[in-house]
Amino acid sequence: MKKLITIVLSIAITSYAGLGQRKIVNLPDLPGFVTLKCDFHMHTVFSDGNVWPTVRVDEAWRDGLDAISITDHIEYTPKEDFIPVDHNAAWKIAENYARERNMILVQGTEITRKMPPGHFNALFIQDASLMAVDSVWDALEAAIKQGAFLQWNHPGWKSQQPDGIPRMYEIHYKLIKNGWLHGIEFFNDSEYYPLVLTFCKQYNLAVMANSDNHGVISEEYIEPFYFNRPMTLVFAKARTHDALKEALFAGRTMAYFRDKIAGREELVKPFFYQCISISKPFYENDKSIFFEVSNKSDIPFYLENGATDAPTTITLAANSVTRIIVDKNVDNPLVYNVKNVLTGEDEVLKVELRY
Amino acid sequence: MKKLITIVLSIAITSYAGLGQRKIVNLPDLPGFVTLKCDFHMHTVFSDGNVWPTVRVDEAWRDGLDAISITDHIEYTPKEDFIPVDHNAAWKIAENYARERNMILVQGTEITRKMPPGHFNALFIQDASLMAVDSVWDALEAAIKQGAFLQWNHPGWKSQQPDGIPRMYEIHYKLIKNGWLHGIEFFNDSEYYPLVLTFCKQYNLAVMANSDNHGVISEEYIEPFYFNRPMTLVFAKARTHDALKEALFAGRTMAYFRDKIAGREELVKPFFYQCISISKPFYENDKSIFFEVSNKSDIPFYLENGATDAPTTITLAANSVTRIIVDKNVDNPLVYNVKNVLTGEDEVLKVELRY
Amino acid sequence: MKKLITIVLSIAITSYAGLGQRKIVNLPDLPGFVTLKCDFHMHTVFSDGNVWPTVRVDEAWRDGLDAISITDHIEYTPKEDFIPVDHNAAWKIAENYARERNMILVQGTEITRKMPPGHFNALFIQDASLMAVDSVWDALEAAIKQGAFLQWNHPGWKSQQPDGIPRMYEIHYKLIKNGWLHGIEFFNDSEYYPLVLTFCKQYNLAVMANSDNHGVISEEYIEPFYFNRPMTLVFAKARTHDALKEALFAGRTMAYFRDKIAGREELVKPFFYQCISISKPFYENDKSIFFEVSNKSDIPFYLENGATDAPTTITLAANSVTRIIVDKNVDNPLVYNVKNVLTGEDEVLKVELRY
Amino acid sequence: MKKLITIVLSIAITSYAGLGQRKIVNLPDLPGFVTLKCDFHMHTVFSDGNVWPTVRVDEAWRDGLDAISITDHIEYTPKEDFIPVDHNAAWKIAENYARERNMILVQGTEITRKMPPGHFNALFIQDASLMAVDSVWDALEAAIKQGAFLQWNHPGWKSQQPDGIPRMYEIHYKLIKNGWLHGIEFFNDSEYYPLVLTFCKQYNLAVMANSDNHGVISEEYIEPFYFNRPMTLVFAKARTHDALKEALFAGRTMAYFRDKIAGREELVKPFFYQCISISKPFYENDKSIFFEVSNKSDIPFYLENGATDAPTTITLAANSVTRIIVDKNVDNPLVYNVKNVLTGEDEVLKVELRY
C-alpha cells in the first residue's frame, strides 16, 4: 500500500558539499603517460591579485589540479603603497605549503609588456627579480638563462588586439628562431584563440590553457555552469616537477576548458578513445542494431555528420552512457566529427565508432 | 593586468543537465563479479502507483541501474474503476521496452497481506495472476512453483509494526524451513531495519534495498541531498538476467542508500577496499608523515576511532582524495571503524589503512 | 586568530530540498488584477501521457501554479488495450483532489486533427465525450456549445509545419469570423512562434504558453537551467475559476517561459514596471552618477541599446539588485529595449529608467 | 500526440549563475524600521585573513548585505614579514570602494586578548592604531573614547572555553557597569552559544551574529546547504551609517544563521508575523478545514506541539506555501512553538495561527 515515510536525515553533509575536499577530475591517462592537470597563470596580492599565495594552492588542491604556477606581474604592482615589492614573495610563501599538500608548484612570473611582444610567463625560474629590467628582450633573456619555459599569454587579448586575432610580430619570430618561445595560451579564462593551434603546430610549441585568475576561483567557475577552470593537460612520464618540465618542453599538452579541448591530433585522438568505450550490440530487431557508448570522462563530446541511417548528431555526455540505434545496413564503423575537439584553426577531430 | 572578460557561453546545456542521459553510478566490481545496481520494488497505475510501466524503465535507465522489477500489488488495485485489473499488465507493457534499453527486467509482483506474514515480493515469476488466491500460503506456494525468489518487504514498517522493529512469526520460520524465503529488505525507501542484518546472517538470506516507489523517482530522490535511490547491489557473474538470478539465490547482495551500505562482512570488506586506494607517503617532516587516500566511488566513508597521534575521524568523501597526516611514531597500518558500513545490527566494518 | 570550527549541521534538509513544498513564483500583480500562473495543456494515461491525473495537480501545486487544465486527446488513446477510453476520466479523478489543494482545475480536452486546422484545446467544457465526432467542425462546435474557450495549439509544430512557421488556413479565418477562436499558443514546451503575436494582436486573441507535458514535469524542467515550466500568465480580477474564465475570454494574458515573456504592450509594459524599482542616486563623483535597479521578479531582463555614456547593455538579473553608473551628462531617463520581452513578431518592449 | 522537441537554449546564463550580481535576501522589515543585514567581523591580509579588503566589500555586496565591518586583529599580524603593520589599512583601502557600491562600511578592529576578557570588536572607531597598547583595559578605553560600540566575540570559543560555555569574568562585569559593553556574538560562523541570550537580556546588550571569515565567503557558505552567512539583523530607522549606529547602541538586533534566528521576544515575534501570511480557509469538508500559510522569507520555520486534531509539527518552508488541514473542532487559533526561533537559553517563540 502507499506509504508516507517521514524522512529523517542523518547525512554528513560535509561529504557532499565539497567543503575541504580534493575532488577527482575524471580525465584518462595516455599509455605511458599520466595526465597532469595544470594552471600556469594566476595572481596574488603581490601584483594585482586579491588573495594570499596559499589560497592559490588551496584552490588548486580542492579543484583536483596536479600543478600550478603563481605568476605575479613584474611590471605591475598596484598594491605597493601597502605591500613592498618582492617578485619572489609568492614562491617563498607557497613553496612548502604546496609540498605538504602534494601539489607541484612551479616557480614563475609574468613579464608584462605592451604588444609587441605582449605578456609572457616565465616558468621554472629561480629568481623573478632578475626579470625586473627595462628592455623586454633583456627580461626574456634573463628568464631563458634560468632555464625558463616561456609562454606567450593571451595573444588575442582585446586590450592588445582589438579584433581578438593573435598576430606574430618580428620579435616573436626572433624568439622562435632562438628557441626561446615554448608555448602559447589557447585558452585564457573564457577567451580562446583558434589561430594559436596553427602557430603551435607550425613552430612546434605547447598549446596552453590557464585561468589568469586575479580574484577567487570559486566565484568565477561556478557549478553547474563551469565544471572546471581552464587547464593545461600535460602528458608527463610521472607526476613529478621534473617530468612535468620535460613534458612541457616536449610540447605534450592539450588545452581544456568547459566542454572544449584543443591540441594536436596525435594527442587528442588517443585521448578521446581513452575517454570512451563502445559496447557490443546488446539488441537488434528487424531493422536496427542497438549499442552503447560510455564516456567516463568529465568532458562531453558532441559528434556530428554521421552517415545516413545513423544519428546525425550524438552527444556523449560526461560520465554517462549513450544508447545508439543504427540501421542494419549502415557501414560499421560509424564516422563522426567531434565538434568540440579542435585540432586546428578550422579543424575538428574525426573519429570512428566500431560496434 | 586585471582583465574583465565578457563571458559568452555557447555551452550545450543538455549535456550537463541530465536530460535524457544514463548516468554512470561509480561503484566498483568485486574480483570475478560485476556489481549490478538493482531496485526490486516499485509500483505503477496497475496497482496504487501513479505512473505508466515504461516510466519505471526510463527512470532506472537514467539512474544507471542494471535491473529492476515492477511489483504491483495483487490484493490492492484502487484504480480499478478506470483500469481493469491485470496482474501481468506492467510486465507485458515494459518487457520489450526494457530490452531495447539494455535494462534487465525481472517479472515480479507483491503479495500484500497484513502482518503476519506482511508483504512479499515474488521475483522471477511467469504469471502473477496465479498469486491472486485467498490463502497467503497458497499465494506464496504459487510463486515458489514458478521458481520465485521471495523477498520479505519492509518487515519493520510502522503500519504493521508500530515500534519499527521487525519480528519473525511462526509463518516466517516455516517459510525459512521450507527454503521459501530468500531475501529481506534492509532499506525500504528511507526506512531501514538494522535487525534485518541479524536475520539474514542467521538464515543465509539476501540483504535487499529497494525504493518501493509509487510516485516519481526524480521528485523523491533529489540531488544534491540524495544521490541515488536505495539499491540492492548484486554481485553477479555477468550482466544477464540468469546471472542476476543465480547471484540473488546465492545471497551475494549488499544494501545501499545515500551514505550507508549494509551486508555481510565477506562482501562489504572487499567492496570497501575496491572503492579506495592508498598512496605511498608523499611527504614527511620531523614529526609527521603525509599520505593520501582516494575514494573513487559515489559512497563517502566515515572512519572513526583511530589511534592516538592519528586523526580520530576521517571522512573519505565520495569521488575525492583525502590527505592524512599521522605522527611518525604511530603504528602502520592505521585501524578504523567505518561508521556507515554496517555488518550487523550493532556492528560496523573495521578496516586498515596501510601507507 | 584563525579558527577552524568543526561544522555540525542540524539543518532540516526537507525545508530546503523542495520535497513536498509549494514554491512561490515571484511575479507581480497588475493594479486591479492578480497574476494567475497557468498551464492549460497536459496529458495523462487517459490519452498518451504517462502519469495519473492527480500527479498533474501535485506537480502544479508544487510549482506554484494557480490553475491548470488536463487536456487528453479525444482522437488518440494509445493505451486503450489496458485502459478503456473515457474522455472525462481525468476530470472525474482530479476535480476534488484539486479543490482540496486550492488549485483551480479547468475541465478541458484536446481536439487532435491534422493541419488544417491542427490541434485545439477546448477549455471550460462540461463533457469531453461530445467532441468525439468525425467532423472537426462538429467537434469544435460541440465545444463552443459548452461555452468553451478554444485555443489553437502549437501552430508552427514541425510535424505539421515543417518550416516551423504558423499559417492561417480558411478554417482558421472562419473560426475567427464566428468568434470561436480565443487563444493561440506562443510557447508550447520549448518551442515558440513569434508570428503568433501578430495573429493575436490582429484578431484580438489571448497569447498562451503551456507545457504540453506527457511525461513528468520535474524531469523536463530541471533547475537551475529551467526555473519554471511555460506558463500562461492571466491577469484576473480574482483568484477564482470564474474570474480566470472572464480574463481569458478578455484576452488579458501573457506568455512566459524561462527568460522570455511575450504579449501586448499594454500588458507587458506595466508588468515590467511592477517587476523593478529604481533607486535615487546613492553616490556621485566628478564624472558619474551611481544608482540601483532592483528586480524582485523571477524573470531577468536584458536591456540593450542604451545612450552614449551609459551602459550599452544591462542585465537586470532575477531577484537581484543591479548597480548602474552613468555619465553626469547623459539624459535622464535612460531609454532601453528589453530584448527578452516580445511585443510583436519583430518588436521588443522599449522602457525608460528614470533615476 | 507525443512530441519530441529538440531543445535549443539561448539562455543568458550569467543572469542565473550569480556571477557579478547582488542578490536580494528576503527578510521583511518591521513597522517603522528597515532590516539591515550586517556582518561585523571579518579579516584580511592585514592581519591573518587571506584576501584583500575590497574582496570583503564585493562578497558582502553580492550576498545582499547592507553593512559590514572589517576587523583585523591589533595583536596578531602574522604576515608582517611581507606586509608592514598598518591597523587602518583595510579601512583606507575599502572606504571609498564601499561607498561606490552603496555598502555601509563601519570602521572597526579586533582587540585580541586571551580569556579573560577574550576578543572584542570595536566598531565605529576612527583610528585603530590607538588600540595597539599593552593593557587590554587601556585598549578598550581607547575604543570607547572614539565612541566605539564594543562587541564581545565568540565568548564560548573552544580555544578559550574548552567546554564551549561562555562565562562572565570580573572584567566583563566591570565593562557592563561602565556601560562599555554593547553586544555579544550569539553566532560566530557555525558556532553558537545559547547562554548569550541570557546575558543580553539581563544586561540589555545587542545579540550579534557574524562570519569571522578569514578565507573566502563563497568557499565556506555554499548553496544549497548554507543559503546565507551569519548575519546580525539590525532594525534601523533608515539605511544609513548613523541610523545603523543608533540601532546597534539601542540593541535592536537579531542573530540569524542558516535556519535559526535568536533575539528578544519583542523583536522576533513581530518579525515572525511579518514573514508569514495566513489565508482564509479555502475549502472544508465534513471533518476538516483547509487553509494555507505563506512564508515569503528566506527562513524556514519549524512549528511543533500543536493541538490534538491539528498537525503535531508544521514546516513553513522558506519562500513556500504550506497547506494545513485541521479538524473542525479544533480551537482557532492554533498555538505552536517555533523550534528554530530562540528567545532565551532554553526558550523558543510561541506563536498563533489564526485562520
| Each residue's pLDDT tens digit, B154-176 | 999 999 999 999 999 999 999 99
Q: What does the pLDDT look like over C36-81, one tens digit per residue?
A: 999 999 999 999 999 999 999 999 999 999 999 999 999 999 999 9
Residue D334 makes CB contacts below 8 A (sequence gap 6+) with: D306, D307, D310, D324, D326, D352, D353, D355
Q: What does the pLDDT look like over B302-339, one tens digit per residue?
A: 999 877 788 999 999 999 999 999 999 999 999 999 99
Mutation target to probe the A interface, by most A beta carbons within 10 A, among B100, B159, B226 is B100
Instruction: Please give the residue of chain C at the shortest CA–CA distance from D320.
Output: C23
Q: What does the pLDDT look like over D230-261, one tens digit per residue?
A: 999 999 999 999 999 999 999 999 999 988 99
- Picking from A23, A283, A320, the nearest residue to B100 by CB comes out as A283
Residue B12 has pLDDT above 60, yes or no: no
| C-alpha to C-alpha distance for C131 and C138, rounded to whole angstroms | 8
- Picking from B55, B93, B218, the nearest residue to C218 by CB comes out as B218
Instruction: Please give the residue of chain D at the shortest CA–CA distance from A87.
Output: D82
Chains A & B: contacts with CB separation below 8 Å = 136
* Cβ(D304)–Cβ(D339) below 8 Å: yes
Average of per-residue pLDDT values in chain B: 93
Give contacts of C48 with chain D, Cβ < 8 Å.
1-2
Give contacts of B82 with chain C, Cβ < 8 Å.
46, 83-84, 86, 89, 93
Q: What average pLDDT does the segment D254-279 reach?
A: 97
Residue A321 falls in which region: left (phi positive, over 0), alpha (psi -120 to 50) or beta: beta
Q: What is the pLDDT of residue A10?
A: 38
Give contacts of C290 with chain D, Cβ < 8 Å.
100, 102
Q: What is the pLDDT of residue C162?
A: 93
Q: Which whole-number Å values give the CA distances from C268 to A107, B212, B334, C294, in the listed order? A: 57, 47, 67, 18
Residue B122 has pLDDT above 90, yes or no: yes
Give contacts of A19 with chain D, Cβ < 8 Å.
219-220, 222
Q: What is the pLDDT of residue C5?
A: 34
| Cell numbers 574525426: residue | A350
Letter string b/e over residues A40-69, b meaning 16 or more CB atoms within 10 A of that residue's CB? bbbbbbbbbbbbbbbbbbbbbbbbbbbbbb
Query: What phi, psi does D116 have (nearest 5°)?
Result: -80, 155
Q: Kindly state the DSSP code that residue C147 receives in the 8-state scheme.
A: T
Give contacts of C14 with chain A, Cβ < 8 Å.
7, 9
| C-alpha to C-alpha distance for A18 and A143, rounded to whole angstroms | 38
Residue B4 has pLDDT above 50, yes or no: no
Residue C254: closest CA among C289, C210, C317: C210
Q: What does the pLDDT look like over C211-232, one tens digit per residue?
A: 999 999 988 887 655 568 999 9
| C-alpha to C-alpha distance for B45 and B48, rounded to whole angstroms | 6
Q: What is the pLDDT of residue A19?
A: 53
Residue C293: closest CA among C316, C313, C327: C316
User: Between chains, do D13 and B14 touch, taking CB under 8 Å as contact?
Assistant: no
Q: Partners for A (CB, 8 Å, 3+ pairs)?
A: B, C, D
| C-alpha to C-alpha distance for D218 and D229, rounded to whole angstroms | 9
Residue B13 has pLDDT above 80, yes or no: no
Q: How far is B15 from chain C (nearest CA, A)?
A: 12
Q: What does the pLDDT look like over A170-213, one tens digit per residue?
A: 999 999 999 999 999 999 998 999 999 999 999 999 999 999 99
Segment holding D354, helix H or strand E? none
CB atoms within 10 A of CB A286: 5
Q: Which whole-number Å values give the CA distances from A166 to A115, A153, A183, C112, in the listed order? A: 11, 10, 14, 57
| C-alpha to C-alpha distance for A53 and A61, rounded to whole angstroms | 13
Q: What average pLDDT does the segment D277-288 reach?
A: 96
| String of DSSP letters for A258-280 | TTEEE--HHHHHHHHHHHEEEPP
Burial of D132 (0-12, 13-18, 19+ CB in 10 A): middle
Q: What is the pLDDT of residue C4?
A: 35
Residue B9 has pLDDT above 90, yes or no: no
- How many H helices and E strands in chain A? 9, 20
Q: Kindly state the DSSP code that residue A30 receives in the 8-state scheme.
A: B
Q: How far is C146 from chain B (nearest CA, A)?
A: 25
| C-alpha to C-alpha distance for A154 and A185, rounded to whole angstroms | 6
Helix, strand or coil for residue A184? strand
Q: What does the pLDDT look like over D89-125, one tens digit per residue?
A: 999 999 999 999 999 999 999 999 999 999 999 999 9
Q: What does the pLDDT look like over D202-222, one tens digit per residue?
A: 999 999 999 999 999 988 887
The count of residues in chain A is 355
Chains B & C: contacts with CB separation below 8 Å = 63
Helix, strand or coil for residue D323? strand
User: Between chains, do B17 and C82 touch, taking CB under 8 Å as contact?
Assistant: no
Q: Kindly state the DSSP code that residue B200 receives in the 8-state scheme.
A: H
Instruction: Please give the residue of chain B at the shortest CA–CA distance from C92.
Output: B82
Q: What spatial distance separates the first Cα and last Cα of chain B, rounded to whole Å?
A: 45
Residue C79 makes CB contacts below 8 A (sequence gap 6+) with: B52, C45, C46, C47, C48
Give contacts of A55 with chain D, Cβ < 8 Å.
50-51, 215-216
Helix, strand or coil for residue A13? coil
* Cβ(D103)–Cβ(D68) below 8 Å: yes
Q: What does the pLDDT look like over C326-351, one tens digit per residue?
A: 999 999 999 999 999 999 999 999 99
Give ipTM to 2 decimals. Answer: 0.93
Residue A15: closest CA among D141, B316, C69: B316
Going residue by residue through chain C (355 aa), what tens digit of pLDDT does each one get? 444 333 333 334 443 444 568 999 999 999 999 999 999 999 999 999 999 999 999 999 999 999 999 999 999 999 999 999 999 999 999 999 999 999 999 999 999 999 999 999 999 999 999 999 999 999 999 999 999 999 999 999 999 999 999 999 999 999 999 999 999 999 999 899 999 999 999 999 999 999 999 999 988 887 655 568 999 999 999 999 999 999 999 999 999 998 899 999 999 999 999 999 999 999 999 999 999 999 999 999 999 987 778 899 999 999 999 999 999 999 999 999 999 999 999 999 999 999 9
Residue D64: closest CA among D204, D256, D206: D256
Segment holding A295, helix H or strand E? strand A288-295
Q: What is the pLDDT of residue D213?
A: 97
User: Between chains, do B50 and C50 touch, taking CB under 8 Å as contact?
Assistant: no
Give contacts of B73 with chain A, Cβ < 8 Å.
1
Average of per-residue pLDDT values in chain D: 93
Residue A72: closest CA among A92, A48, A52: A48
Nine-digit cell at B158?
510502522
Residue B106: closest CA among B151, B142, B173, B141: B151
| C-alpha to C-alpha distance for A108 and A70, rounded to whole angstroms | 6
Chains C & D: contacts with CB separation below 8 Å = 138
